Amino acid sequence: MLSKIASYTVVGLDGVPVEVETDINKGMVSYELVGLPDTAVKESKERVFSAIRNSTLRFPVNKITVNLAPADIKKEGSQYDLPIAISLLVASEQLKADTDGIVMLGELALDGGLRAVTGILPVLISAKSKGFKKFIVPFGNANEASYIEGIEVYALKSLREAFDFLSGTPFEPVQVRSFEAAKGRLSYDCDLSLVRGQAVAKRALEIAVAGGHNILLSGPPGTGKTMLARCIPTIMPDMTFEEALEVTKILSVSGELGEDGIASLRPFRTPHHTATTVSLCGGGNTKIKAGEISKAHRGVLFLDELPEYTRGALEALRQPLEDGKITIARAGGAVTFPADFILCASMNPCPCGNFGSKEKTCTCTPAQIRKYRGKISGPLLDRIDLQVEVDGIKYEELAGGSDGEPSAEVKKRVERARAIQRERFLNEEGVTVNADMGERQIKEYCRLSPDCESILRAAFERLNLSARARSRIIKVARTIADLDCSEIIKPKHILEATSYRNFDSTAER
Amino acid sequence: MNYTKSETDLIVADSIEELNYKQKKLLLASENGETDDGQKYAEALIKTLDGGVYNKVREKFRDQNYRGKVLAALDKKGVQCVTVKSADYPGLLKQIPVPPLVLYLKGNRALLATRKFAVVGSRRTTAQMTEVCKSICAELSKKLTVVTGVADGADGAAAKGALKSGNIICVLPGGHCRSGAANADLLRKVEQNGLSVSEFPPMTRVQRHTFLLRNRILAGLTEGVLVVSAAEKSGALSTASYAANYSRDVFAFPYGVGVPSGAGCNALIKSGAFLCDCAEDILSVLGIDTDEKKKSEPELEGDERAVYKLLKERGEMHAEAIAAALGSALSDALTVCSLMEIKGLIIRTGGNAFAAI
């Protein structure tokens, strides 16, 4: 007899339907699996055999052909175990049930248990839009499946339960949970108030987050650059449900989703500087996987010791920094992953790390420093609006230093500034924050008074700024004005913005 | 360029790589037809050279073809020469023990005849002293020609400061075609507005010892030397010691105890160099009238005035400390500092700290 069971695979971040067809016929005893299966799928034959036998069911002894359709997509992973087993049971007429319209996914253990698989969320979202309403998933994926409304998801523990469920035994579907509740469960493990001193850098972080600007922190080793960077997500506005789903999809496909089943915190990714271009941007031969920049989507990509990364890896960041997404084309097809993140990079001011330090002496020659900084190309620096020095000053040295402001306070100001920007860019396609502005938007939304123009001109002459620093300064000034709730850009905003261009001028010296 | 016979002799002799300074002089003397001692000098030269080499060198020296090539190559590269026999060879330089036979020039040759003063220093100079050096050189260059190198740090700052007036000579540590790669931009500007000088033919590579030879010219060309910064062991100190040997005046910036880039300067002052912290200090020693216009306090108001006073009194200060002293928000303090930086009153000294100039 012939049976058909609906299942899904994931290509990029989208679910693609796969039909599992099983035909049992008279003939020489054999068990064939066709339809471009990879090794993990082929091995499912053995798992399915044991799982059926150990669930006190019978494995048919006949000529068996299992086909995964469409036959032109390469099938990867272990999620076809469950649909294959069920279709075998249906085809061998042990299970007499209507399996139409039920999407099944799950890996089988040899004892017949169901193990969690990756990529459940993208499948549910895609299948729901295709009209599927009923799903059987492993119990381990229950949390991940609980945030989608309007579908019935049954999270089952074993093949036997699936058999019983399909035979008519009632099971409770997964309860839909709200994102709001999930948000409260986790919190960031750092806070700006824990960083002592560093007021300049903190202020720069606030501006960076408010305007979506990328930021470069440079300073001697041990001055808290990493700590500061870790605080960036804590001052970013909370993710909306839509944003959370985008992030969850990527983590789900990568198999990095936490216990909670949804990403309620903004991601903070710190790939090591030995990372390859592919691991940063994504890629792969048969199945294209998301890279670190996509896993940092809606969050922060922190590149510590920026000059140590390979040139190729850094240059590859340029296009996604511009577009907020990356399209990876391989022989097997092209996939687009979102990659809208704030880039936070850190570096030492010179190879020995002590340039500009008050306590230690720098042993580098100016030529060495030039070479070190030259590792970061101009076009990449163009996309980093804020370049700040993190100083090694001792906290005790500051007269009247006060305790740091908690992240929550800063976040309020950031949210207010973001609200102003949302309103401003309501009619602009693809522009949501100041950092996204192109030349046209700068002209339209950042009109400068003659005062500001003359200050900017003087700054350029005196401080030896490059021409490309101009639009950077104006964009940052716009954000500072937004934080100040000021409609127009005032001279003081321009002046403050020029003080965050450390890299341009010190490189000249 | 047209050169006289004796000038051409010198240039051609200088272009022969096989010979050292003494041998070049012997060759010139032996080939000089006016006296009868030619044979004597030739014998002396042969003593120091392999016989074959002597013949080759003499052939080369006499070969009209070779002579033409040397001069044409110089013209093509835009390099002029001034020789010890030339009228405008700097008089001061003639006094030193081993004056270069030929100086290779690019730029405004007339500067050789002016009064000259050398400003030298280490590549590693603090941001504040770099800035002070720049402004003093701007001041000096109104009265004198500033002579310096083209390296990063103090030399570069001196050149930048004096560039505007055009009274700037950079002395190169190698041939014109092989020097100053790191600061090619600056060197080009110097050659447009001022002059670059080298004792080496254009294709000579820069080597360690050529820096020391160059330092002797820096000291020899000038009436005095200002050492902007020098660690305990520094090339700037070799210039200073040449200057002392040639009985030129030596000046040095004072530094605090324990500043590594100032240890050499303090040592110079200890052993009798003039302490210098403004252009007048130098001009008065050299007997040049100053305008007697002491640098007046800039007229400032409000926060700017307070910040300027703070930095003048306390020296270098961190942005946070400035904000705390003003009792204002950090962003306001940064705004004021930025404005004053643009006005050229203060500079960033790294690590978010500022200092008054």
**Contact residues for A473 (Cβ-Cβ < 8 A; gap 6+):** A456, A459, A465, A494, A497, A498, A501
Q: Domains of chain B by range and CATH?
A: 1-76 (no CATH), 109-285 (3.40.50.450), 302-356 (1.10.10.10)
Residues from chain A contacting residue B256 (CB–CB below 8 Å): none
- A396 inside 8 A of chain B by CB: no
pLDDT above 80 (res A394): no
Q: Is the torsion defined by CA of B126, B132, B138, B139 positive or negative?
A: negative
Question: For residue A31, what are the β-bridge partners?
Answer: A64
Residue range B242-270: mean pLDDT, rounded = 91
- A219, A356, A361: residue with CB nearest B260: A361
ipTM, two decimals, is 0.78
pLDDT average, residue stretch A190-213: 90
CB-based contact (8 Å) between A63 and chain B? no
* Predicted pLDDT at A506: 46
Position A382 pLDDT exceeds 60: yes
The residue among B124, B303, B338 with the most chain A CBs within 10 A of its CB, best to mutate, is B338
Per-residue pLDDT tens for B119-132? 999 988 888 889 89
Distance from CA of B304 to the nearest CA of A (A): 13
Q: What is the reported pLDDT for A393?
A: 63
Question: Which of B206, B314, B328, B331 to mutate: most A Cβ within 10 Å?
Answer: B331
**Nearest chain B residue to A348, by CA:** B351
* A389:B351 CB<8 A: yes
Beta strands B249-252; B224-227: pairing state: parallel
Sign of CA dihedral A86, A91, A96, A99: positive
Is residue A398's pLDDT more than 60?
Answer: no
Q: Would the pTM of this model clear 0.90, i.e. be above it? A: no
Structure confidence by residue, pLDDT tens digits, B127-185: 888 989 999 999 899 889 999 998 888 999 999 999 989 999 999 999 988 877 778 88
Minimum-distance CB partner of A492 among B323, B335, B348: B335
Which pLDDT does position B259 carry in this prediction? Answer: 85
- The count of other CB atoms within 10 Å of the CB of residue A347 is 23
Contact (CB, 8 A) for A91 and A2: yes
Instruction: Kindly report, residue by residue over A263-304, the tens digit of the pLDDT.
Output: 889 999 999 999 999 999 998 877 889 999 999 999 999 999
Tell which residue, A168, A88, A82, A166, has the closest CA to residue A123: A82
pLDDT band at residue B355 under the 50/70/90 scheme: confident
Higher-confidence residue: A161 or B277? A161
Distance from CA of A475 to the nearest CA of B (A): 16
What's residue A75's pLDDT?
Answer: 87
User: Could you please report the per-residue DSSP string of A214-270?
Assistant: -EEEE--TTSSHHHHHHTHHHHSPPPPHHHHHHHHHHHHHHT---TTSS--S--EE-
Instruction: Say if residues A205 and A232 touch (Cβ distance below 8 Å).
Output: yes
**CA–CA gap between residue B55 and residue B61 (Å, rounded):** 10
Residue of A nearest to B317 (CA): A398
Residue A482 has pLDDT above 70, yes or no: yes
> Is the per-residue pLDDT at A103 higher than 60?
yes
In terms of average pLDDT, the best of A137-141, A332-336, A428-432, B52-56 is A137-141
Per-residue pLDDT averaged across A399-415, rounded?
80
The overall average pLDDT reported for chain A is 89
Tokens of A216: 């470069």
